[in-house]
Amino acid sequence: MPVFFSMTTQSSKPMNTMTRLIATSFLTAILSGCGGPDDFTPTENMTAADIYNGACQACHGANGGGKFGFLFQIAGTESSMEEIAGLLKDGGHIMPSFPNLSDEERMIMAAYIKAL
Ligand code: HEC
């Protein structure tokens, strides 16, 4: 369980500069050439897996295993459903927020992540 991923918006632990630098350059690599994941808007009949594949997989990889190995791994997270839903609503240090997901969809996604 990498320390990096136990940090949520509520965390009091500051991200160290090197982690921030590494994370930022990964983010830049991910986001270049695409619209930005916070634009993601689910359509009517999307399942949690569809939303995951559309909005999350780019960073967190297939099944939450992390796109870049351990760095963005979320499978097995120790965060609670409420913490995850809050992260999706407000965004993280680097993770974008998902304002177009409803509260219910954020809880569904939290449950989906917890089950990975
Ligand atoms: C642009 C890359 C990116 C996208 C897209 C993204 N995340 Fe994240 N996610 C991160 C980063 C970076 C973190 C580390 C925490 C932070 O940024 O504050 C994180 C952290 C998390 C965590 C916390 C893990 C823990 O152990 O505390 C969860 C859960 C999570 N993301 C779920 C999602 C879900 C669900 C989606 C899709 C709706 C998503 N992420 C989309 C980059 C992303």
Residue 108 CB–ligand 1 contact under 6 Å:
no
Residue 98 CB–ligand 1 contact under 6 Å:
yes
Q: pLDDT tens across 50-97, in order?
A: 999 999 998 999 899 988 777 799 999 999 999 999 999 999 998 999
Exposure letters 48-59 (e unless 16+ CB within 10 A, then b): beebbeebbbeb
Give, using CA atoms, the residue closest to atom 21 of ligand 1: 74
Q: Are 97 and 38 in contact (CB under 8 A)?
A: yes
Q: E-assigned strands of 5-115?
A: none
Residue tagged 């219910």 (tokens): 104
1 CA: nearest ligand 1 atom: 26
0.85 cut: is pTM over it? Answer: no
Q: Which domains does the chain have, with CATH numbers?
A: 44-116 (1.10.760.10)
Determine phi and psi for 53, rounding to 5 degrees: -65, -35
28 three-class SS: helix
